[in-house]
Structure 1
Amino acid sequence: MTYEKLEVWQRSFKLTVCVFKQFSSLKDYGFRDQITRSALSIPSNIAEGWERVTDKEKVRFLSFAKGSCGELKTQLLIATEIGYIDSEIVHTMSAETEQIAKMLGALMNKLARSS
């Protein structure tokens, strides 16, 4: 199975596009760069990990992606607190980030058990 067929990759890809669109006009370039990089890291690390040979390597990169979920959620919460984005949008994106993190955890566990 290719990484593009993984539901977790598809959902993280869509979330990343949403983050880029929501913050595209933000004038705080440092914040915009940081939040878009953390979002971009999620599907990118899933893809890179899935292309690795061993399950141990896959788990390592999925772990990076999961860490980026925590980073992104934190930045989304900060963005709403400082008035960069509406709290309803953040709630939706944060919930999706949490679901993606759970999916990554389950996939990591599955791969670790099969090793």
Structure 2
Amino acid sequence: MSEDVADEDMSGFPNAGVRAIWDLGGKEVVVHYQETVIWNKAIRLAELVCLLSVELPTEERFGMRSQLTRAAISVPSNTAEGWTRESKRERRQFLSIAHGSLAELHTQLLICERTGWLRTADLTEIKSLIDQTSRMLTVLRRAARHP
């Protein structure tokens, strides 16, 4: 079972976050989601996707660009929400949504690459972050399954 503890200001916003207690393999971990490797990788991924999406053709501004940025932003957002949830069931749900958004983002980027809208060279760091984030989400989801 976890507890949420009010946190001091970490991001310039009053009461912007909470620390969560996670039981990871029999070891309790108390950490703010903004301090986690997974959240920081997901934030970097969202940042890179948002910056790269301006390279898409103008006619895709409200199509693929919108889908890419929404999926990219969903990953750290749902990771943060899942991190702070008290019940394992809720944690699993939000981490599952984050993982689904990550798969959606990866698929959309592959389409952009295959159609020539985005260059393969510009996707190297993004693809690496997708892989790393996916692996971490898998571990966290498994940890939230076990008593």
Q: Does 1:76 align with 2:98?
A: no
**Structure 1 residue 25, shift from structure 2 partner:** 4.7
Contact 1:69 1:98 in 2 (8 A): no
1:21 match:
51
> Bigger radius of gyration, 1 or 2?
2
1:49-60 paired onto structure 2 within 5 Å: 49-60=82-93
User: Structure 2 stretches of 5 or more lacking a match?
Assistant: 1-30
Choose between structure 1 and 2: higher strand proportion.
Answer: 2
Q: Give unmatched runs, 5+ long, in structure 1.
A: none
Find the counterpart in structure 1 of residue 145 from structure 2: 112
1:5 corresponds to = 35
Partner residue of 2:13? none
Report the identity percentage: 34
Distance 1:25 1:104 in 2: 29
Aligned partner letter, 2:130: T
Instruction: Give the Å deviation of 1:6.
Output: 1.3
Q: TM-score, normalised by structure 1?
A: 0.92
Alpha-carbon distance, 1:38 to partner = 0.6
* Aligned residue pairs, count: 114
Give the alignment's Cα RMSD to 1 decimal: 1.2
Higher helix proportion: 1
**Matching residue within 96, 99, 102 for 2:132:** 99
Partner residue, 1:61: 94
